[in-house]
Structure 1
């Protein structure tokens, strides 16, 4: 994999894009002390090399009736490639699962699940466990969202 170099200006551009991806290139260029063309080219390079993965609109879950965040921990029933592929496909098919990680430690997988209420979580849970062989599943319900950010830390660059 080719090493990607991020300089001070790239870091500043990324900072502004993470805050508001709709900001015009002219505004970003002005804030980082570049003219529009070099700023646009830097953004284009970071998109081409994968530093900028994609641009999306973040939605407010509570405005969509998604009042409950549940973290579901799963212990695998098997530890082989076939089971993992089936489990990944099964789990990824649920729109309620907004994040899905393979973990180290006591549990093998961690899911972040967004639902409207306990009844909708119960409905999700029954469909989830009914579709694949699992060793153990435990769920933790978020009581309060204290910090949420999609911005990647850039201070180390």
Structure 2
């Protein structure tokens, strides 16, 4: 469906990214359309998987999650069983906000949010007790300069 996204769809997506808690009437007003076509388009984009689960953004630091680590993982294991076990371990750990498989010298990078360094160590110890990992490097983020869940949709004139 992505090739069928038109200017109105982009406006709707931009409005939802800006504030998905707005009413359908408000979104329709913002995008310059009426409620029924906007509702229909949102429904179609949900069915196509373009719009996923809706949630709220929380302030991690205000909730006590003051430490953000980027964890670089190298493994000597590349078998399907190891990968399945590793992915299950990651999915079971709520501290892992993001996990990416990489090309290059590093196999995986994780974004891990915890209250402090001691909590990170507990996370690390639990992870290495569950799966065998060749090398782990943890980088503590000193300051978050930019973070955005918004996709650059381009002009939505």
| TM-score (norm. length: structure 2) | 0.94
State the match for 1:88 in structure 2: 87
- In 2, Cα distance between equivalents of 1:3 and 1:142: 35
How is 1:65-144 mapped onto 2 (pairs within 5 angstroms)? 65-144=64-143
Deviations 1:13-56 (A, max 9, x none): 10010011101111111111111111111111111111101211
State the match for 1:57 in structure 2: 56
Q: Structure 2: which 5+ runs fail to align?
A: none
Q: What is the CA-CA distance between 1:81 and the residue it aligns to?
A: 0.8
Q: How many residues align?
A: 156
Deviations 1:98-142 (A, max 9, x none): 111111111101110000011111111111112111111101110
Q: Structure 1: which 5+ runs fail to align?
A: none
Q: What is the CA-CA distance between 1:4 and the residue it aligns to?
A: 4.1
Deviations 1:42-78 (A, max 9, x none): 1111111111012111111012100010000111131
State the match for 2:9 in structure 1: 10
Kept in 1, the 8 Å contact 2:96–2:113? The answer is: yes
* Alignment pair present for 1:39 and 2:38: yes
- In 2, Cα distance between equivalents of 1:73 and 1:126: 15
Q: What secondary structure, in the 3-state scheme, does the structure 2 residue paired with 1:70 have?
A: strand
- In 1, Cα distance between equivalents of 2:95 and 2:31: 39
